[in-house]
Amino acid sequence: MADYVFQKEKIEELLGGMAKNYEVHAPLLNAGIVRFGKVEEGGPALAKLDDYSNSSVPPKELLFPQTETLFRYRLGTGGIEPKVPDAGAKVAVFGIRPCDAQAFAIVDKLFGWDYPDPYFQNRRKSTVLIGLACSSPCSTCFCTSLGGGPTNDEYLDVAMYDLGNEIYLKTVTEKGDELCKSISDLLEEASPSHLEACQNQSKEAASKIRRSIDTNGIPEKLPALYDNPFWEQFSDRCLGCGICTYLCPTCHCFDIQDEVEVFDGRRARMWDTCMFEEYTRHASGHNPRPTRKERTRNRVSHKYSYFPTNFGVIACVGCGRCIKYCPVNIDIIDILEKSIAVEVKEAG
């Protein structure tokens, strides 16, 4: 694998070079917020690399869009027209954070489980992840507690480090190598001093992570709290909105709806959330999760107990978005810490 550098001021040139062979997605400034999107002429401006620690919406929306047409249909002769994305397309995601890339590896398990989901999987296959190491993590970040870290390159194809005037690039996979070769005329060779600067940055960034949680024992403990009043201290102030789940890079629930016009229509799927009342409402009107207590319990237990039981990995990467954006300070670290401290009486 190879390493390179390029001048930071030449980012747009670099993305232009990439765009010759790839559809390029990057963090964009969209009416005040940073969100990943396709880089297009006349579209929203590129966010500066130090404009964001974590984008407001995680880049999961690139592989799993909030609203996605599965197929279209027409009355009469038209039949159905599937909208499965092309696995052979070449898409580059520039500036993704290590935690958000790690989330893809977690969601892979779900979308490749009993029914391999071609919509997610084809996009995943066609996407090259050019990650950007964090140099100033948020006060709500806790990635180091979940096997990640601000400079973790394990789930990336190319890792980038912002060294001030220069960006250091290191290829991690063959996919990443191929991409760098396609723009090699825009890259310069790196020197050992660059590597040293990156290593220093890694150490410094990890030391800036202020929050942590010891996840030992949590997957086993949460089911024991199923009927415990424990959850009320959090659900009493829960608004029941979709912020924590929609902005979670590993939340992956969706609803499927038919949208019918007069002569044609589409079947589409859109993000859904276990925090909404209608998520578990049965056709009969009965709701097995009747209040926000059960819904709060489900969100936390799914991430920290059910998912690890089914797939062997906690469905959280510590990006901190659910903490940062929660309007009522429901803090998942706080919940987990308190869950460990609760004493549960043995049955009988």
Partner 1 sequence: MVDQGELRQKAKEVISREDVRRLIGWKRGTYGFEAAPAVIKDPSEADELVFDPTCVQNPASFVTLEEKPPLPRGVEPDLRKVGVFAKGCDSRALIQQMVEQAYERDHIVVIGIPCRGVIDHRKAEKLFGDVTPDLVEISGDKVVIEIGGEKREVAREDVLMAKCLRCRYPNPLISDVLVGGEVEKFADDDFSDVDEFEKKSPAEKWEFWEKEFSKCIRCYSCRNVCPMCYCPECVVTRLKPQWTRRSVDLSENTSYHIERSWHLAGRCIECMECERVCPMDIPIMTLNRKLTRDVKELFSYEPGTDVEASPLLTSYNPQDPEEYIM
Decide if residue 341 touches partner 1 (CB under 8 A). no
Q: Residues touching partner 1: how many (CB under 8 A)?
A: 43
Strand ranges for 57-210 from DSSP E: 67-74, 79-82, 91-96, 127-132, 158-162, 166-171, 188-189
Q: Which residues inside 125-154 make contact with partner 1, applying CB under 8 A?
A: 138-140
Whole-number minimum distance, CB 213 to partner 1, in Å?
12
Decide if residue 71 touches partner 1 (CB under 8 A). no
d(CA 330, CA 253): 21
Whole-number minimum distance, CB 273 to partner 1, in Å?
8
Whole-number minimum distance, CB 333 to partner 1, in Å?
7
Decide if residue 246 touches partner 1 (CB under 8 A). yes
94, 104, 231, 271: which one contacts partner 1 (CB under 8 A)? 271
Decide if residue 23 touches partner 1 (CB under 8 A). no
Spatial CB neighbours of 199, under 8 Å, sequence gap ≥ 6: none
Closest CB to partner 1 among residues 206, 333: 333
Phi/psi for 29 (5° steps) reads -90, 110
Decide if residue 268 touches partner 1 (CB under 8 A). yes
7, 21, 66, 200: which one contacts partner 1 (CB under 8 A)? 66
d(CA 104, CA 177): 20
Decide if residue 243 touches partner 1 (CB under 8 A). yes
Decide if residue 329 touches partner 1 (CB under 8 A). yes
Closest CB to partner 1 among residues 87, 256: 256
Strand ranges for 97-187 from DSSP E: 127-132, 158-162, 166-171
Closest CB to partner 1 among residues 30, 173: 30
What's the Rg (C-alpha) of the chain? 22
What Cα–Cα distance (Å) separates residue 143 from each residue in 20, 139, 198, 245? 34, 11, 19, 17
Q: Which residues inside 24-63 make contact with partner 1, applying CB under 8 A?
A: 30-33, 35, 53, 56-57
d(CA 161, CA 305): 34
Q: What angle do CA 44, 245, 318 make, to 5 degrees?
A: 85
Region from 17-25, 150-158, 189-197, 254-262 binding partner 1, contact rule CB under 8 A: 254-262
151, 274, 331, 339: which one contacts partner 1 (CB under 8 A)? 331
d(CA 278, CA 300): 19
51, 188, 196, 255: which one contacts partner 1 (CB under 8 A)? 255
Region from 98-106, 191-199, 298-306, 320-328 binding partner 1, contact rule CB under 8 A: 320-328
Q: Which residues inside 290-309 make contact with partner 1, applying CB under 8 A?
A: 290-292
d(CA 305, CA 211): 21
202 neighbors 33 (Cβ within 8 angstroms): no
Spatial CB neighbours of 233, under 8 Å, sequence gap ≥ 6: 338
DSSP one-letter code for 231: G
Residue in 62, 99, 92, 96 with CA at minimum distance from that of residue 178: 92
Whole-number minimum distance, CB 309 to partner 1, in Å?
27
Closest CB to partner 1 among residues 30, 215: 30
Residues that bind partner 1 (CB under 8 A): 30-33, 35, 53, 56-57, 66-67, 138-140, 211, 236-237, 239-243, 246-247, 255, 257, 259, 268, 270-271, 273, 276, 278, 290-292, 323, 325, 327-329, 331, 333-334
